């Protein structure tokens, strides 16, 4: 179909970015603009002549602007088919003006509900009714009408109008698809607002947050070079309600484009760092911490975390829960160290300059500023499986230390207790079966992703080497037998923390007593598959 010549445009927008320049271009092309409410006032203030919707329809705005464009003369002009005589006759009979262009974006519902302290009444007032109706009507009738639902579309529309007087069939179809995606995401955000769980009780497992139907809305951010492997295609999408301090909202300050694996590791690093005391650093490789530490200074914590497993740390992803300072940057920039990416609340200017100028990998390292890093709130996680999805509450709440108990004859010292707490915090971020060794609040040995807990203990012993002596052990789940306790004791482990709950707990407790090992039972498992 050739480009329909556009004579009239209807404009009603909440986001007025780029609107004045766009509207001037429409007027210059001989297009008459119809607008209402704040849009009309905005354009008239800029000196652009506008036809008022209320004057055209003969029906005033009412109910604080809730009723503006919900009128047959508006929707007839959008839905009318200009090559159907019956439609043309009806439009002529009722004085309906055909709109070849509709420019509409919706009330900022998601922005409103993301603000702290927003009342349900305020949220509901930001549910647009007329806007989605206009958008959907224009998108349905895209054979005759171009629909602009985002300011980013203005340049392409204006270029075609200036060149041809109208908008091509190809672009109109593309705009229609974007419009339907826009209203679908908008409705999804509203639906999720009404069914979201009570985050005040998110630390308690509940089925109340699982509805009969879930609505997923995400926006394409970037097509990645490939997925986990070069033969796999991949892309990054952002959730419509992504937190401002989430990974997808982070600002990349330096380095090459992010890969699929980078993003997975950065997300794991951010999650792990957020669960540790400040200041802490996590060194992550292949979605598992290979180093982690807290210390009085960030520089000391960084060095201690790197020393957890220097061989694995080469080419790693680092997560910080405080801004990266110069001392931490100097540690990472030392010869022989190579870092793929760093995610942190921020980077001090001197640290940023050093990381982007001194080391050999300076132009490649990806530096991401994420803003505030804070413990999670038990939000829902979604994982795809063949033919469907699994949903669960995130395992990111701190456990209640008051619920722990020590059934062993020997009780942990204050120093051991501090190490046990740190070990328990990092253990949940290691793929199960998970065993971690911690010494001086630094990770010194990890056994991850093993089918046997005995194997996980043996790997942690091998990784830690002589550092096993005096270290504490954390296990993400119970010990089914006492063999791992004997092996750990022989390696020099001085204290143990685990959930308990095995039928052989008494045998495990007896093994700890045999070796004078204090053991804490937390009563909560932390599998990570």
Helices (H) and strands (E) counted in the chain, each on its own, are: 19, 20
Q: Do 348 and 408 belong together in one domain?
A: no
404 within 8 A of 518, measured Cβ to Cβ = no
User: Does the pLDDT of residue 213 top 70, yes or no?
Assistant: no
User: Does the pLDDT of residue 101 top 80, yes or no?
Assistant: yes
Confidence of residue 198 (pLDDT cuts 50, 70, 90): very low
Residue-wise pLDDT for 409-434, tens only, equals 999 999 999 999 999 999 999 999 99
Q: Do 364 and 411 belong together in one domain?
A: no
User: Does the pLDDT of residue 200 top 50, yes or no?
Assistant: no
User: Does the pLDDT of residue 203 top 90, yes or no?
Assistant: no
The H or E element that residue 344 is part of is strand 339-344
Positive or negative, the CA dihedral 326, 332, 334, 340 is negative
Q: What is the CATH number of the domain that holds 63?
A: 3.40.50.1380
Note whether residue 374 is domain-resident: no
Kindly list the distances between the CA atom of residue 516 and the CA atoms of 95, 208, 335, 481, 507, in Å, as whole numbers in the listed order. 93, 45, 43, 18, 14
Domain boundaries, position 406: 399-521
Note whether residue 389 is domain-resident: no
Confidence of residue 253 (pLDDT cuts 50, 70, 90): very high
Q: Do 177 and 117 belong together in one domain?
A: yes
Q: Exactly one of 16, 140, 397, 486 is catalytic; name it.
A: 140
Residue-wise pLDDT for 441-473, tens only, equals 999 999 999 999 999 999 999 999 999 999 999
What is the domain count for the chain? Answer: 3
Mean pLDDT value across the chain = 89
Asked which of 325, 350, 369 is the last residue of a domain, the reply is 369
Mean pLDDT across 212-236:
87
At 212 the pLDDT is 64
| CA pair distance 525, 230, nearest whole angstrom | 36
Q: Do 357 and 403 belong together in one domain?
A: no
Note whether residue 207 is domain-resident: no
Q: Is 140 considered catalytic here? A: yes
Packed helices 72-79 and 85-94: angle between N→C axes, nearest 10 degrees: 160
Mean pLDDT across 98-122:
80
Mean pLDDT across 507-513:
97
Report for 38-42, 201-205, 267-271: range of highest mean pLDDT = 267-271
Q: In 3D, which of 180, 198, 178, 176 has the Cα closest to residue 188? A: 180
Kindly list the distances between the CA atom of residue 271 and the CA atoms of 134, 262, 299, 323, 370, in Å, as whole numbers in the listed order. 42, 14, 21, 16, 12
User: Does the pLDDT of residue 235 top 80, yes or no?
Assistant: yes
Q: Is 286 considered catalytic here? A: yes
Q: Do 422 and 515 belong together in one domain?
A: yes
| CA pair distance 216, 329, nearest whole angstrom | 39
Q: Exactly one of 286, 358, 397, 515 is catalytic; name it.
A: 286
At 72 the pLDDT is 80
Q: Do 110 and 257 belong together in one domain?
A: no
At 164 the pLDDT is 85
Q: Do 265 and 350 belong together in one domain?
A: yes
Q: What is the CATH number of the domain that holds 442?
A: 3.40.140.20
Q: Do 169 and 34 belong together in one domain?
A: yes
Note whether residue 411 is domain-resident: yes
User: Does the pLDDT of residue 13 top 90, yes or no?
Assistant: no
Confirm whether pTM is higher than 0.85: no
| CA pair distance 229, 249, nearest whole angstrom | 25
Note whether residue 221 is domain-resident: no
Q: Do 343 and 474 belong together in one domain?
A: no
User: Does the pLDDT of residue 89 top 70, yes or no?
Assistant: yes
User: Does the pLDDT of residue 485 top 80, yes or no?
Assistant: yes
At 59 the pLDDT is 66
Mean pLDDT across 389-404:
89
User: Does the pLDDT of residue 115 top 80, yes or no?
Assistant: no
Residue-wise pLDDT for 17-41, tens only, equals 889 999 998 999 889 999 887 888 9
Please classify residue 227 by burial: count the beta carbons closer than 10 Å to its beta carbon, then call 0-12 exposed, 13-18 middle and 19+ buried.
middle
């Amino acid at each position: 179909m050739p480009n329909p010549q556009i004579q009239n445009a209807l404009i009603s927008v909440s986001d007025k970015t780029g609107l004045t320049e766009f509207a001037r271009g429409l007027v210059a092309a001989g297009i008459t603009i119809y607008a209402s409410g704040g849009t009309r006032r905005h354009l008239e203030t800029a000196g652009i002549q506008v036809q008022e919707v209320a004057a055209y329809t003969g029906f005033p705005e009412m109910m604080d602007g809730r009723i503006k464009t919900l009128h047959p003369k508006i929707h007839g002009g959008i839905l009318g088919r200009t090559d159907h005589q019956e439609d043309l006759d009806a439009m002529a009979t009722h004085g309906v003006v055909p709109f070849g262009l509709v420019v509409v974006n919706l009330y900022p519902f998601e922005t409103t509900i993301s603000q702290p302290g927003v009342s349900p009444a305020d949220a509901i007032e930001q549910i647009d009714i007329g806007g989605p109706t206009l958008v959907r009507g224009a998108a349905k009738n895209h054979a005759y009408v171009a629909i602009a639902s985002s300011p980013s579309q203005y340049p392409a529309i204006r270029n075609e109008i200036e060149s041809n007087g109208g908008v091509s069939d190809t672009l109109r179809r593309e705009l229609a698809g974007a419009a339907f995606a826009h209203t679908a995401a908008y409705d999804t955000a509203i639906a999720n607002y009404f069914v979201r769980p009570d985050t005040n009780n998110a630390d308690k497992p509940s089925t109340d947050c699982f509805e009969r139907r879930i609505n997923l809305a995400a926006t394409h951010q970037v097509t990645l070079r490939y997925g986990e492997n070069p033969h796999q295609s991949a892309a990054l999408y952002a959730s419509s309600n992504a937190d401002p301090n989430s990974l997808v909202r982070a600002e990349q300050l330096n380095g090459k484009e992010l890969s699929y694996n980078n993003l997975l590791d950065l997300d794991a690093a951010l999650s792990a760092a957020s669960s540790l005391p400040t200041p802490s650093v996590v060194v992550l490789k292949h979605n598992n911490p290979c180093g982690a530490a807290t210390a009085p200074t960030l520089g000391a914590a960084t060095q201690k975390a790197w020393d957890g497993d220097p061989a694995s740390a080469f080419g790693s992803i680092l997560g910080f829960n405080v801004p990266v300072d110069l001392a931490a940057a100097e540690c990472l920039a030392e010869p022989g160290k190579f870092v793929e990416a760093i995610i942190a609340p921020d980077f001090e200017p001197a640290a940023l300059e050093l990381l982007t100028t001194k080391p050999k990998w300076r132009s490649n390292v990806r530096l991401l500023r994420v803003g505030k890093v804070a413990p999670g709130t038990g939000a829902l996680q979604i994982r795809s499986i063949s033919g469907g999805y699994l949903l669960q509450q995130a395992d990111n709440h701190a456990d209640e230390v008051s619920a722990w108990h020590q059934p062993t004859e020997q009780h942990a010292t204050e120093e051991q207790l501090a190490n046990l707490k740190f070990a328990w915090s990092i253990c949940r971020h290691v793929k199960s079966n998970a065993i971690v060794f911690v010494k001086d609040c630094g990770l010194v040995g990890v056994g991850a992703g093993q089918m046997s807990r005995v194997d996980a203990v043996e790997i942690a012993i091998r990784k830690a080497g002589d550092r096993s002596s005096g270290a504490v052990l954390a296990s993400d789940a119970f010990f089914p037998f006492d063999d791992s306790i004997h092996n750990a004791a022989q390696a020099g482990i001085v204290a143990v923390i685990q959930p308990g709950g095995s039928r052989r707990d008494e045998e495990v407790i007896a093994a700890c007593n045999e070796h004078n090992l204090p053991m804490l039972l937390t009563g909560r498992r932390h599998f990570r598959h």
